[in-house]
Structure 1
């Protein structure tokens, strides 16, 4: 199994309650039921207010590297990530467990 973690940081001046951000959150929330390669899916706003904290997180899992590739290339994932490119940056970690 591979754990796929993504941490998002909203760009300067972007607020969580903006319509484009809310649409981006909905797009990610829906992925768990859309992409068959995902064996585990959760995403949520970070509740920490520490200065080094990121704003939003995805915690997911897939069976193997081939499934991860299919997930990343899936049109629904590409569309959701495309929305976030407009207002955030992110870091990714993938590891076997």
Structure 2
């Protein structure tokens, strides 16, 4: 199992209540139904009120490195990325096992 973790930080002027953030969140929540490669999925707005914290968190799981890499190129994933790119900065990491 590969665990893929994504952290998103809103750009200035964007908040969790904005229409763009809500649209991106809804699209993110819909991905597991569209991408069968996803084996585990939990996403949402950060609930810890700290200015150092990231605003949005995704923790996902894939059966293999190959499945994760195929997910990166999946058209539905790319559509979601296109929603997040204008409103946030991204950090991510992957864990084997």
TM-score bucket of the superposed structures, by smaller chain: over 0.9
The 5 Å alignment of 1:1-97 reads 1-97=1-97
CA displacement, residues 12-71 of structure 1 (integer Å, 9 cap, x when unaligned): 111211111111000100001111111101101111111210000000000111100111
State TM-score, norm by structure 1.
Answer: 0.96
Once the two structures are TM-superposed, the CA of residue 81 in structure 1 deviates from its matched residue by 0.7
Q: Which 4+ stretches in 1 moved above 6 angstroms?
A: none
Aligned residue pairs, count = 97
Name the CA distance, whole Å, in 1 between partners of 2:89 and 2:63.
26
Question: For structure 2, which runs of at least 5 residues remain unmatched after alignment?
Answer: none
Q: What is the RMSD of the two structures over their aligned residues, measured on CA atoms?
A: 0.8
State TM-score, norm by structure 2.
Answer: 0.96
